[in-house]
């Protein structure tokens, strides 16, 4: 008899979305600035007056992820194509004029801001805490194995890539899967690589479906993931000559939740993009002025020879309207200090607005050593911004830990390393959290942990987890050393006890022999 197919039961909302593939491609747009602002029609209100609620009427300017990529790439900045940047014109010998080609310059502020955000948010490895009450030795061993494999699979590096992608193009994702060898892996899903993430929530705001729209080998695909299944739409152009979406049979992805972790937010430089654009324009105008007038203008009265022209250079103002003796002098151009000050002020504004600090070696003016605390104070903007980022990325950290733990359990079962891993790992309550990177002296930090442990303010276990030199299985290593030390001490005590017993027995025997000898001597004498 033919095998009866198992009926697939989907969430009604998910099923409704999957029935309309064009709906799967829809996503919330990115916006920047108000396009149409309309003030309230109500001009005034009395004290304690109740008015009718108004729905939002503002419209936003939309910005595409292509624009984010262009802003991130200095070679694509608008200033390079700005025809309003002044040029340098020279008069030729034949009386005509020629424009000197001037290479405009863009400033990679967007990339610098992005990198600073990523550094302070991902500069340290993910911090894990086992929340099980009184964990058993086996639970501690499983927890250590989780951290070991997290490090072996470079999950912190994968996390850093995701943060960098989100800060670059607005959203990013990590897709967890088991590779052809059954190993748990995660790969980056980003607009930079041609993948469009479309997230779908129910009316309560809960994520029920994650979709990825992309083109591969000239064919359009929509991959969707719910809590149980992987669904794929493929565009087929061979059906009556009309392009149609074809839904393939769903496949179980093997995880207990959607295996795609996504994060959406502002690009790193979003709040200061307009300032950066103005800065680049002023910067280029400043360079043009410096190139044209930076060495001054030679003002010559009277006629002078061609050789003198060559020596004098290209910027010569020749006044032949006077009679008598000639003269020559350099006319100093206006000081550029005001423009330099303006650029410096704009640089500070960019740093404040983006929550980024660019500390250069020349900015550290001291004859002695600079403490980590002093450096950290200069980067308070970065740290404050990263602390807010820790909160925003907490859901990502938790879901990454859950999916990796679940996938690792399956891997260990499949390779025969841990037969009960699925059940055992499910009982591990692991908390994951980003740790803000900040300039610090590791020795001073670890010494602080020692002092806190000595004062009874933290446990030894916390000290093991928080210090900068611990390995993933440090707790087990400490326990093994303690057990070995206790075993060695016990063996030594036993050896000493045996030696003491042997010595006592030997002494007793010697005393008995001596007494018997004395008795024999007394009998002989008598």
DSSP state letter for 228: S
How much is the average pLDDT of 250-254?
Answer: 95
Q: Which residues in 362-377 are b (16+ Cβ under 10 Å) and which e?
A: eeeeeeeeeeeeeeee
Query: What confidence score (pLDDT) does residue 35 get?
Result: 78
Domain assignment present for residue 226? The answer is yes
430 pLDDT exceeds 70?
yes
pLDDT tens-digit readout, 80-90: 998 888 777 76
Reported confidence tier of residue 311, pLDDT bands at 50, 70, 90: very low
What are the start-end ranges of the E strands in 117-241? Answer: 127-130, 171-178, 184-190, 196-201, 207-216, 219-225, 229-236
pLDDT greater than 90 at residue 265: yes
Residues 135, 198 within the same domain: no
Q: State percent of the chain over pLDDT 90.
A: 54
Using pLDDT thresholds of 50, 70 and 90, give the confidence band for residue 304: low
Q: What is the pLDDT of residue 379?
A: 83
pLDDT at 369 over 80: no
Query: Do 147 and 226 sit in the same domain of this protein?
Result: no
Q: Residues 161, 175: one domain? A: no
Tokens of 487: 């075993």
Does 475 or 106 have the greater pLDDT score? 106
**In this model, does residue 91 exceed pLDDT 80?**
no
Mean pLDDT of 232-246: 88
Where is the domain boundary, 264, 286, 320? 264
331 DSSP β-pair partners:
297
Whether 378 and 417 map to the same domain: the answer is yes
Whether residues 188 and 245 share a domain: the answer is: yes
CA 373 to chain centre: 23
Per-residue pLDDT tens over the stretch 266-302: 999 999 999 999 999 999 988 887 777 655 566 666 6
Tokens of 33: 């600035």
Q: What mean pLDDT comes out for the span 11-31? A: 94
Mean pLDDT (whole number) for 322-351: 77
Q: Residue 91: inside a domain, yes or no?
A: no
Distant-in-sequence, close-in-space partners of 12: CB < 8 Å, separation ≥ 6: none
Token pair listed for 225: 């993931």
Position 310 scores a pLDDT of 45
Q: Can you tell me the distance from the alpha carbon of 301 to that of 314, in angstroms, rounded to the nearest whole number?
A: 16
- Examine residue 492 and state whether it is found in any structural domain, yes or no: no
Count: domains in the chain:
2
- Token pair belonging to 170: 């607005």
Residue 38's contacts (CB-CB under 8 Å, 6 or more residues apart) are: 57, 58
Whether 269 is covered by a domain: the verdict is no
Q: Tell me what the mean pLDDT of segment 300-318 comes to.
A: 53
Residues 176 and 33 in one domain: yes
Q: Phi and psi for 204 in degrees, rounded to 5?
A: -85, 0
In a domain, 427, yes or no: yes
Give the predicted TM-score (pTM) of the model: 0.79
Tell me which of 440 and 360 has the higher pLDDT.
360
At 479, list the tokens.
């326990």
Looking at the fold, whether 159 and 189 belong to one and the same domain comes out as no
pLDDT band at 10 (very low <50, low <70, confident <90, very high): confident
In which band, very low, low, confident or very high, does the pLDDT at 463 lie, cut at 50, 70 and 90? Answer: low
Per-residue model confidence (pLDDT) at position 364 = 65
Over residues 187-197, the mean pLDDT reads 97
C-alpha span between 363 and 419 (Å, rounded): 58
Residue 215 counted as domain residue: yes
User: Domain boundary at 422, 439, 456, which?
Assistant: 439
| pLDDT score, position 442 | 61
Neighbours of 32 (CB within 10 A): 17
Read off the pLDDT of each residue in 142-161 and give the average, rounded to a whole number. Answer: 96
The reply to whether 243 and 391 lie within a common domain is: no
Higher pLDDT, 386 or 507: 386
Share the mean pLDDT of the chain.
Answer: 83
157 & 122 share domain: yes
489 compared with 31, residue with greater pLDDT: 31
Instruction: Report yes or no on 17 lying in a domain.
Output: yes
pLDDT at 517 over 90: no
Q: Are residues 417 and 434 in the same domain?
A: yes
Whole-number pLDDT of residue 312? 43
Query: Residues 194, 212: one domain?
Result: yes
Q: Which two tokens stand for residue 104?
A: 């405009």
Domain boundary among 235, 264, 293: 264
68-72, 189-193, 239-243, 386-390, range with the lowest pLDDT:
239-243
Q: Average pLDDT in the 7-24 region?
A: 89
Domain containing 214 equals 10-39+57-63+171-264
Among the listed residues 115, 122, 114, the one whose alpha carbon sits nearest the alpha carbon of residue 390: 122
Q: If we measure between CA atoms, which residue out of 77, 8, 26, 498 comes closest to residue 284?
A: 77
Q: Is the pLDDT of residue 441 over 70?
A: no
Query: What pLDDT score does 146 carry?
Result: 97
Q: Is residue 77 part of a domain?
A: no
Does one domain contain both 190 and 144?
no
Each residue of 391-424: pLDDT tens digit? 999 999 999 999 999 999 999 999 999 999 999 9
- pLDDT at residue 325 tops 90: no
Closest CA to 284 of 231, 220, 339, 234: 339
């Amino acid at each position: 008899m033919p095998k009866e197919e198992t009926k697939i039961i989907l969430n009604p909302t998910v099923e409704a979305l999957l029935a309309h593939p064009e709906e799967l491609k829809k996503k919330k747009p990115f916006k920047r600035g108000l396009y149409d602002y309309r003030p309230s029609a109500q001009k005034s209100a009395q004290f304690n007056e109740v008015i009718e609620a108004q729905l939002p009427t503002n419209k936003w300017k939309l910005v595409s992820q292509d624009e984010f990529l262009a802003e991130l790439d200095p070679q694509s900045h608008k200033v390079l194509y700005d025809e309003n940047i002044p040029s340098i014109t020279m008069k030729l010998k034949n009386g005509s004029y020629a424009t000197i080609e001037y290479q405009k310059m863009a400033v990679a502020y967007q990339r610098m801001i992005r990198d600073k955000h990523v550094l302070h948010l991902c500069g340290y490895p993910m911090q894990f805490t086992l929340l099980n009450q009184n964990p058993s030795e086996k639970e501690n061993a499983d927890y250590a194995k989780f951290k070991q494999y997290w490090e072996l699979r470079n999950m912190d590096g994968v996390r850093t890539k995701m943060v960098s992608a989100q800060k670059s193009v607005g959203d990013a994702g990590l897709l967890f899967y088991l590779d052809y060898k059954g190993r748990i892996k995660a790969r980056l899903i980003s607009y930079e690589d041609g993948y469009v993430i479309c997230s779908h929530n129910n009316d309560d705001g809960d994520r029920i479906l994650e979709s990825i729209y992309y083109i591969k080998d000239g064919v359009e695909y929509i991959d969707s993931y719910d809590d149980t299944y992987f669904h794929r739409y493929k565009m087929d152009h061979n059906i009556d000559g009309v392009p149609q979406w074809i839904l393939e049979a769903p496949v179980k992805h093997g995880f207990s939740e959607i295996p795609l972790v996504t994060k959406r937010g502002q690009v790193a430089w979003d709040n200061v993009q307009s300032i950066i654009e103005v800065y680049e324009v002023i910067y280029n105008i400043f360079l043009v002025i410096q190139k044209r007038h930076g060495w001054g203008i030679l003002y010559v009265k009277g006629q002078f020879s061609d050789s003198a022209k060559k020596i004098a250079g290209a910027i010569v103002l020749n006044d032949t309207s006077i009679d008598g003796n000639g003269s020559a002098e350099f006319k100093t151009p206006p000081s550029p200090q005001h423009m330099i000050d303006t650029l410096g002020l704009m640089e500070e504004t960019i740093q404040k607005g983006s929550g980024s600090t660019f500390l250069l070696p020349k900015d550290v003016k001291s004859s002695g050593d600079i403490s980590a605390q002093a450096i950290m104070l200069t980067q308070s903007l970065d740290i404050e911004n990263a602390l807010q980022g820790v909160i925003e990325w907490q859901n990502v950290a938790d879901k990454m830990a859950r999916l990796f733990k679940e996938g690792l359990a399956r891997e260990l079962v499949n390779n025969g390393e841990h037969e009960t891993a699925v059940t055992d790992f499910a009982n591990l309550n692991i908390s994951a959290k980003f740790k803000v990177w900040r300039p610090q002296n590791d020795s001073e930090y670890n010494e602080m942990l020692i002092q806190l442990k000595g004062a009874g303010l933290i446990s030894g276990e916390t000290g093991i987890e928080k210090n900068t030199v611990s390995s993933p299985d440090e707790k087990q290593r400490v326990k093994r050393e303690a057990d070995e030390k206790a075993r060695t001490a016990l063996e030594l005590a036993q050896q000493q006890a045996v030696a003491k017993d042997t010595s006592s027995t030997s002494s007793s025997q010697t005393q008995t022999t001596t007494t018997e000898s004395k008795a024999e001597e007394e009998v002989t004498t008598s």
